């Protein structure tokens, strides 16, 4: 979501959001809340902190129970259940 550094994993996305150069309305919405604005500010203050937080979030996602077999489905259109 960051055209300036699309080939690297870095803080470029947050830098663009702060400059109000996000691609989506949801990017701009991050600045309307003091909570999310402070999270962005915190991320930009420490590259190491950003990567540590990202690692923790990936670990959490890894603990999500995946639905297997007939319990779930891969949607052809994400907003609708397949027919």
Reported as a pLDDT band with limits 50, 70 and 90, residue 71 is: confident
The answer as to whether 10 is a domain residue is yes
Question: Phi, psi (5° rounding) for residue 13?
Answer: -60, -50
Among 11-15, 59-63, 69-73, the minimum mean pLDDT is found in 69-73
Q: Is the pLDDT of residue 29 over 90?
A: yes
Contact 26, 37 (CB under 8 A): no
- 79: in domain: no
The reply to whether 19 falls in a domain is yes
Identify whether 60 is part of a domain. Answer: yes
Mean pLDDT of 15-42: 91
- For residue 72, what are its two tokens? 């779930």
Domain that holds residue 10: 3-71
Is the full-model pTM beyond 0.75?
A: no
CA–CA separation, 31 and 45 (whole Å) = 16
What is the domain count for the chain?
A: 1
User: Which of 30, 19, 18, 23 is closest to 3 using CA atoms?
Assistant: 23
């Amino acid at each position: 979501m960051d055209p300036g550094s699309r080939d690297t994993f870095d803080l470029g996305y947050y830098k663009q959001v702060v400059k109000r150069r996000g691609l989506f309305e949801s990017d701009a919405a991050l600045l309307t809340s003091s909570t999310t604005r402070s999270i962005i500010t915190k991320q930009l203050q420490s590259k190491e902190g950003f990567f540590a937080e990202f690692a923790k979030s990936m670990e959490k996602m890894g603990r999500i129970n995946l639905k297997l077999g007939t319990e779930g489905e891969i949607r052809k259109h994400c907003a609708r259940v397949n027919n």
